[in-house]
């Protein structure tokens, strides 16, 4: 009988392996071969378990994860390659290094062993030094694989924690979006002499745009369109603060209004109101953000509009005959430089005219991701002309649709906001409350 171990060169006894990878399963139908291999491996410091067949070995592997497996190729019943394939199918907790003991050396046989999952081969008779070297190499591979598995488990746990935090942040941002949208008192309002429609669409959950209105006096209203620099939470928080400064419900807090001795209110000239806001940005609000603004006081009886444009895109007026005019000279954004002065300008709306104050998310919408070409004022004019037959929210929805078509995607890269005032002319006005 051929011995499975060539004892011509004996390894040093008591070789204790590092990393605790010392569990070895020996599978051979020859009891003598198993004993010879077991004695050698125990001297090397391994803990050895024996199995006399592939079936017995498979049962052992179902209940225990072995670090290393030495299996004879030729066995009655389940041979070595079949046992190896079934061993791999078990998907044990830790990877086991599988070595086939064989007298076969043909390439086809080696290929078959590799296909079923064998890691290495040792040709009989086994040389003790070669055996030790191959087991040590297998030990290193198993150690690296288990370290990788441990790191993957740690990454998986870290990902789960991040996912939990992300879900919590997503929920907070969704609630923040609802709260920010609630800052808009009315998205559509009929004042009798004119109809107003508001658009606020954030590129993310929350954004830095804000639009709104406030009552000034019977027959007079204030309109504003704001775009805070940057995006996200800090910009959104600033819009909430600014909504208070231009409040439609608490006139005492509205910096664009002055309270008179009789308890009534009068509007400040828009340049003075914007200067107040600029002073507040440097005195009361500690932030590096600034914002652009269009602030208008509209006389609904006469159609006269008094406005200041602080860095915001030029307001557009579409006349009743379809002509489009842009107003304003620009001025600095609010909060950019202390003690800035602002100019005002006036124009008149006639029955059938409409005023649009849109953010730069409209005029600076690019022709696609990464593209420098923008739709510009000409593109906005084309949108207004193309949709001349639409009014109110339908016009604003059509504008967003056209922007999406120009950009090439539904999700636009910047916040989009607008105030639309469609003027009918002097009529009996409903109350502003």
Task: Give CA–CA dist 142/136, Å, rounded.
Answer: 10
Residue 332 · residue 353 · CB < 8 Å? no
Q: What is the pLDDT of residue 309?
A: 97
CA angle at residue 233 from 227 to 234, to 5 degrees? Answer: 65
To the nearest whole percent, how much of the chain has pLDDT over 90?
A: 58
pLDDT, one tens digit per residue, over 257-298 is 998 888 888 999 999 999 999 999 998 877 889 999 999 999
pLDDT, one tens digit per residue, over 33-89 is 999 999 999 998 899 999 999 999 999 999 888 999 999 999 999 999 999 999 998
Which structure tokens are listed for 129?
């030094």
For 5-151, which CATH superfamily applies? Response regulator (3.40.50.2300)
pLDDT, one tens digit per residue, over 306-320 is 999 999 999 999 999
Task: Give CA–CA dist 247/277, Å, rounded.
Answer: 13
pLDDT value at 17 more than 60: no
Average pLDDT rounded to a whole number, residues 217-237: 88
The pLDDT-based confidence of 344 (bands split at 50, 70, 90) is very high
CA atoms within 13 A on the CB side of 327: 23
Domain with CATH 3.60.40.10 in the chain: 183-423
Q: How far is CA 54 from the centre of its chain?
A: 51
pLDDT, one tens digit per residue, over 369-422 is 989 999 999 999 999 999 999 999 999 999 999 999 999 999 999 999 999 999
How far apart, in Å, are the Cα atoms of 304 and each of 163, 260, 347, 352? 54, 23, 6, 14
Q: How far is CA 329 from the centre of its chain?
A: 38
Q: What is the pLDDT of residue 1?
A: 43
How far apart, in Å, are the Cα atoms of 425 and each of 58, 280, 421? 91, 36, 12
For 183-423, which CATH superfamily applies? PPM-type phosphatase domain (3.60.40.10)
Nearest to 333 by CA among 373, 282, 400: 282
Please list, in sequence order, all residues whose beta carbon lies within 8 angstroms of the beta carbon of residue 330, skipping any fewer than 6 positions away. 309, 311
Q: What is the pLDDT of residue 177?
A: 62
The pLDDT-based confidence of 179 (bands split at 50, 70, 90) is low
CA angle at residue 135 from 132 to 138, to 5 degrees? Answer: 150
Domain with CATH 3.40.50.2300 in the chain: 5-151
Write the secondary structure of the chain as one string of H (helix), E (strand) and C (coil): CCCCEECCCCCCCCCCCHHHCCEEEEECCCHHHHHHHHHHHHHHCCEEEEECCHHHHHHHHHHCCCCEEEEECCCCCCCHHHHHHHHHHCCCCCCCEEEEEECCCCHHHHHHHHHCCCCEEEECCEEHHHHHHHHHHHHHHHHHHHHHHHHHHHHHHHHHHHHHHHHHHHHHHHHHHHHHHCCCCCCEEECCCEEEEEEEECCCCCCCEEEEEEEEECCEEEEEEEEECCCCHHHHHHHHHHHHHCCCCCHHHCCCEEECCCCCEEECCHHHHHHHHHHHHHHCCCCCCCEEEEEEEEECCCCEEEEEEEECCCCEEECCCCCEEECCCCCCCECCCCCCCCCCEEEECCCCCEEEEECHHHHCCECCCCCCCECHHHHHHHHHHHCCCCCHHHHHHHHHHHHHHHHCCCCCCCCEEEEEEEECCCCCCCCCC
- What is the strand order of the sheet 68-72 is part of? 47-51, 23-27, 68-72, 97-102, 120-123
Nearest to 160 by CA among 24, 6, 168, 4: 168
Task: Give CA–CA dist 206/237, Å, rounded.
Answer: 9
Residue 269 · residue 296 · CB < 8 Å? no
Task: Give CA–CA dist 384/418, Å, rounded.
Answer: 13
Average pLDDT rounded to a whole number, residues 197-222: 88
CA angle at residue 258 from 330 to 179, to 5 degrees? Answer: 70
């Amino acid at each position: 009988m051929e011995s499975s171990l060539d004892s011509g060169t004996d390894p040093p006894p008591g070789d204790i392996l590092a990393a605790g990878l010392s569990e070895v399963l020996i599978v051979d139908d020859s009891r003598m071969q198993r004993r010879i291999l077991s004695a050698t491996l125990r001297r090397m410091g391994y803990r050895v378990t024996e199995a006399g067949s592939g079936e017995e070995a498979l049962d052992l592997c179902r209940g225990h994860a072995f670090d290393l497996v030495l299996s004879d190729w030729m066995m009655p019943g389940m041979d070595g390659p079949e046992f190896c394939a079934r061993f791999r199918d078990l998907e044990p907790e830790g990877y086991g290094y599988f070595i086939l003991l064989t007298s076969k050396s043909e390439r086809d046989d080696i290929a078959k062993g590799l296909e079923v999952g064998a890691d290495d081969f040792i040709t009989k008779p086994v040389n003790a030094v070669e055996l030790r070297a191959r087991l040590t190499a297998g030990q290193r591979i198993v150690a690296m694989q288990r370290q990788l598995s441990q790191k993957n488990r740690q990454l998986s746990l870290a990902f789960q924690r991040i996912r939990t935090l992300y879900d919590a942040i997503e929920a907070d941002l969704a609630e923040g979006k609802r709260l920010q949208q609630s800052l808009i008192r009315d998205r559509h309002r009929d004042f009798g002499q004119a109809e107003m429609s508001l658009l606020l669409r954030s590129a993310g959950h929350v954004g830095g745009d804000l639009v709104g209105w406030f009552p000034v006096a019977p027959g007079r209203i204030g309109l504003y369109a704001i775009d805070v620099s940057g995006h996200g939470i800090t910009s959104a928080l600033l819009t909430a603060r600014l909504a208070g400064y231009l409040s439609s419900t608490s006139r005492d807090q509205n910096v664009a209004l002055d309270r008179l001795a009789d308890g009534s209110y009068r509007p400040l000239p828009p340049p003075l109101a914007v200067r107040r806001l600029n002073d507040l940005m440097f005195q009361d609000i500690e932030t590096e953000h600034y914002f652009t603004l269009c602030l208008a006081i509209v006389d609904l009886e006469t159609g006269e509009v008094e406005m200041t444009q602080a860095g915001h895109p030029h307001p557009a007026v579409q006349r009743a005959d379809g002509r489009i005019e842009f107003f304003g000279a620009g001025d600095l954004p609010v909060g950019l430089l202390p003690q800035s002065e602002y100019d005002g300008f006036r124009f008149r709306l006639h029955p059938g005219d409409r005023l649009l104050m849109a953010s730069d998310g409209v005029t600076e919408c690019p022709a696609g991701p990464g593209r420098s070409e923008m739709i510009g004022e000409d593109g906005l004019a084309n949108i207004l002309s193309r949709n001349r037959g639409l009014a109110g929210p339908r016009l604003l929805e059509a504008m967003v649709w056209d922007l999406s078509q120009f950009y090439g995607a539904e999700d636009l890269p910047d916040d989009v906001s607008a105030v639309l005032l469609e003027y009918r002319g002097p009529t009996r006005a409903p109350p502003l409350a």
